[in-house]
Amino acid sequence: MIAVDEYADFLVAEYLDSYIAGGGAAVKFVVAGGAGEAEHFSRTVSERAAADGYVTVRVDAVDVRVHLIDQIFSAVAARIDWDALAARRVRETFAAVSHPVADGSSDVSVEAVAAHHQVDAGELSRDMNRRLQQDVFHDYEMVQEFRIAMLRLCQAQMRTGQVTEAEHDAVLAWLRGELHKISLLRTAMIFRRIGRHNARQLLFSLAHWLGVNGHAGLLVEVDVRRFGFARRPQADERHGFYYTKANLLDGYELLRQLVDNTDELSHCCVVVIAAPEFISDVSRGVDAYQALKLRIFDEVRDRNRDNPYSSLIRLGSA
């Protein structure tokens, strides 16, 4: 086993500070010996990642149906300051078209910047739209729906009337899984809800968007310790979600897909926190889904010394 602080130091130094920040991606499975160790590891890594410029999100299977990728994306999206990201991109775009926002000003509207530089607002708006289409809409590292959504949020920051307040709010609700009528986004050229068919690609797009807008990347902690509950307790003792065997297998398949899709990811680290039953319970542990086990389980290893570069890490007393 690896000591909690030792592995936290290793993960930050070898992955977050270098590989992930440079555009890489990784999925790590951490088996904590107890609840205290799991919470300490989660808190330590999150705090250090946030200090290094990462957006950190913790998704707990108790509160979020983690066997559904769209639910994970919604939980992550709820923690993102989408307007701040759009405002940063607009500010950088003004600088790219040689009309930077005035020093100390938080107003990134076309009218304010045009007045500062004493140029025509209409012409500046045309230059901005052309450059945003080049830098955002044509950034093919992101899927089309996500590119359109980010373009609309950027246009809303410019306050030229291209995007109404209702459209802006609808885009945010769509990203967070709170939009009730997709027809509200018809004018914004977004026609599909976020679901299991597209949420994974949207999550990948978000990690890239964070990476090109001033953040080191995205750290997502997925706590799946709830998977070990084979039976739900009595009604008055229940809290949160519980997982049937079918849900459990769906969850493991989701994690398997993330492992297989790391080549498509950038600026993203996914840390899956599991209970000891993950590797010891034949019925509900990783043994129940061989497709995932074959990708992460170290069949041959030193009994006295774990490999910190392995996909599966066992935390405990040194």
Is 162 in the same domain as 304?
A: no
Residue 142 has pLDDT above 90, yes or no: yes
Reference 243, options 263, 228, 255; nearest CA is 228
Give the domain extent around 16. Answer: 4-68+200-315
The domain total for the chain is 2
Residue 155 lies in a domain: yes
Q: Which of 185, 215, 231 represents a domain boundary (last residue)?
A: 185
Is 172 in the same domain as 92?
A: yes
Is 101 in the same domain as 178?
A: yes
Integer Cα distance of 75 and 148 in angstroms: 21
Residue 171 lies in a domain: yes
Residue 245 lies in a domain: yes
Residue 233 has pLDDT above 90, yes or no: no
Residues 6+ apart with CB under 8 A from 230: 283, 284
The rounded radius of gyration (Å) of the Cα atoms in the chain is 22
- Residue of higher predicted confidence among 238 and 163: 163
Q: What is the CATH number of the domain that holds 271?
A: 3.40.50
* pLDDT-derived band at 300, boundaries 50, 70, 90: low
Residues 6+ apart with CB under 8 A from 54: 16, 215, 216, 217, 218, 219
Say what the pLDDT of residue 211 is. Answer: 96
* pLDDT-derived band at 317, boundaries 50, 70, 90: low
Is 274 in the same domain as 214?
A: yes
Q: How many helices (H) and strands (E) does the chain have?
A: 12, 5
Is 39 in the same domain as 119?
A: no
- Residue of higher predicted confidence among 265 and 304: 265
Is 102 in the same domain as 163?
A: yes
Element (H, E) at 217: strand 217-223
Reference 89, options 215, 240, 178, 250; nearest CA is 215
Residue 190 lies in a domain: no
Say what the pLDDT of residue 235 is. Answer: 77
pLDDT mean across residues, the chain? 94
Residue 257 has pLDDT above 70, yes or no: yes
Say what the pLDDT of residue 318 is. Answer: 47
Residue 73 lies in a domain: no
Look up residue 86 and give its amino acid.
A
Is 13 in the same domain as 104?
A: no
Residue 194 lies in a domain: no
Alpha helices in 183-296 (DSSP H): 199-211, 245-260, 277-280, 290-296
Q: Which of 154, 185, 216 represents a domain boundary (last residue)?
A: 185
Residue 140 lies in a domain: yes
pTM (whole model) above 0.85? yes
149-202 pLDDT, tens per residue? Answer: 999 999 999 999 999 999 999 999 999 999 999 999 999 999 999 999 999 999
